[in-house]
Each structure stands twice: as C-alpha cells, then as structure tokens.
Amino acid sequence: MSMGGPAIILVSPQMGENIGTAARAMLNCGLTDLRLVGPRDGWPNVKAERAAVGAFEMMPPVRVFEKTEDALRDLTYVYATTARDRKMVKPIVTARFAAAEAKERIAAGGRIGFLFGAERMGLVNDDVALADALLTVPLNPEFTSLNLAQAVLLVGYEWFQAGDTTPPSQLDTNGSPLATKEQLHAFFAHFERELDACGFLRNQEARPSMVRNLRNMWSRTHLTEQEVRTLHGVVKELTTLRVPRK
C-alpha cells in the first residue's frame, strides 16, 4: 500500500464502531493515514477493531492528538468536510474536484488532509477556520444525513477514482476471442441456408430486409468464437430431424 496519500482526520469521533467502519472505508480506497482528535471513547478501542474487519492490520498505527491543530501540523492543504453552510469566506469544492486538486497538490510536493467532524454536530467553526477549503458532497438536498463512514467512503472513493485507470467499459469475453467477420459471415450463411430450407424466408420480397434485420441482431451481440461455434451447433441440432417442407 503506497503511503503519501491524504490523511483522514476524525475530530471528536464518538462511537468506536464508526472509527472502525471509517478505517474500513479508507482502506477500500487505498487510504491509510488515519488521525483521531480527542476520540470520546479513548484509543485503542475494541469496538473500532471489531468494526474495521481487519483494516487496522493493513494500515500504519492510528495517531491520536489532543487538538485539531496538532493533527494538521505536517500538512500543507486541508479540506474540511461539511454539509452545512458555514458563513465563512472560503472556497467550497465538490469531492470530485477536491480529489483531482489533491492529486495535483501532492504531485507538487504538498501534503493533504481531509477533516471530518463528530457524528452529530460535524466540525466546529474554529476547526473549519483551520482548513483551506470546504468540501461538500453533492447529494439529495432533501435527505443529506450521511454517517461518518459513508462520508469518508465518498471522499476516499473520489480520491481512488482520480488515480484509477480501469477502462470505463470493456467486454469480458471470458478468454474466448471475439469472432472474426469471416467466422460471423460463415454463421450467417449457415443460418440463412437453413431458414431458406425451412421456408422462413420464402417471401422473396421481404427476404432482403429480414436477412438484414437478423444480421443486425447478431452483429449487435458481439459474438465470441466460442459462441459462434455454439450457434452453429444449435442450428444444426434444430434442423437435424426436420422433415422437408412439401
């Protein structure tokens, strides 16, 4: 796990379970620098361990601080996550924008932190004033209640996506190569020969457009070599016992 990613700083977290699920969400997103400011139920915490489902064993030790200032000392840019309007003159950014910006700041030598407040009240304004920007996750304005781990997950998710290279869309062919046009055309010929033989294409006027429609349907399915073989077999078996049309 590469270090150097943003720090997640939980200020005055209350329930141990929430620290554990937040750690799990962090690790899901490749984040491992967890800092706690004044955790209500102390540290270490058995309930946090249990809720983390093994996440803490894959991260450096959690660091605990008395004051928010202390937890931010080595950082150069800090985002305060908040759902409420803070009446402060500060940039407000989305999670997606913050993730891309954080990547750039880190590339330029910066060290980034994301501040999260306590379960109920969120961050106090004096902590928000320590941050460089406010991070607000755009969500349904009629129902914004997010738990702590979910807020960490969404911020972490955007961080991971900002560095991820997964192709947005790909066809899994399960090891079988896609059929070549030649293989596809051979299947078309086999299929249409049998449709002629059974009389399905007997209307000579309609035949060209029916053939085109069927070819379009097969083309849209992006068949693999294996699937083309299966379809040859299907057509063959369907026609084996057929009595010739009179």
Please say which residue, 52 or 118, places its beta carbon nearer to its own copies. 52
Helix (H) or strand (E) holding 112: strand 112-116
With CB under 8 A as the contact rule, the residue among 4, 73, 87, 203 that binds its own copies is 87
Measured from the CB atom, the residue of 42 and 91 that comes closer to its own copies is 91
Residue 47 near its own copies by CB under 8 A: no
Residue 43 three-state SS: coil
Q: What are residue 37's DSSP bridge partners?
A: 11, 65
Across-strand partners of 63?
35
Q: Residue 11 or residue 228: which is nearer to its own copies going by CB?
A: 228
Q: Which stretch binds its own copies (CB under 8 A): 20-28, 68-76, 102-110, 197-205?
A: 20-28
Q: Is 144 in the site for its own copies (CB under 8 A)?
A: yes
Contact track, its own copies, 155-174, x by CB under 8 A: --x--xx--x-xxxxxxxxx
From residue 170, give the alpha-carbon distance in Å to each of 21, 166, 175: 32, 9, 13
Shortest Cβ 69–its own copies spacing (Å): 21
Minimum distance between the CB of residue 191 and its own copies, rounded to whole angstroms?
Answer: 19
38 binds its own copies (CB under 8 A): no
Residue pair 9/68 in contact (Cβ under 8 Å)? The answer is yes
Residue 145 is a binding residue for its own copies (CB under 8 A): yes
**Given the rule CB under 8 A, which of 37-45, 67-75, 139-147, 179-187 is the region that contacts its own copies?**
139-147
Nearest to 72 by CA among 123, 120, 25, 22: 123
In the list 3, 73, 126, 140, the residue contacting its own copies (rule: CB under 8 A) is 140
Residue with Cβ nearer its own copies (141 or 244): 141
Q: Look-up: residue for tokens 């330029």?
A: 108
> Which distant-in-sequence residues (6+ apart) come within 8 Å of 238 by Cβ?
194
Spatial separation of the C-alpha atoms in residues 141 and 138, rounded to whole Å = 8
Residue (94 or 219) nearer to its own copies, CB? 94
Say if residues 153 and 29 touch (Cβ distance below 8 Å). yes
120 binds its own copies (CB under 8 A): no
- Return the bridge partners of 7, or none: 33, 113
SS3 label, residue 159: helix
* Residue of the chain from 66, 85, 126, 205 that contacts its own copies (CB under 8 A): 85
- C-alpha–C-alpha distance, residues 131 and 89, integer Å: 11
> How many chain residues are in contact with its own copies, going by CB under 8 A?
54
Q: How far is CA 236 from the centre of its chain?
A: 44
Torsion angle (degrees, nearest 10) of CA 13, 16, 21, 27:
80
Q: Name the residues that contact its own copies, by CB under 8 A.
A: 1, 24-25, 27-30, 53, 55, 58, 85-94, 96-97, 101, 134, 136-140, 142-146, 149-150, 153-154, 157, 160-161, 164, 166-174, 176, 224, 227
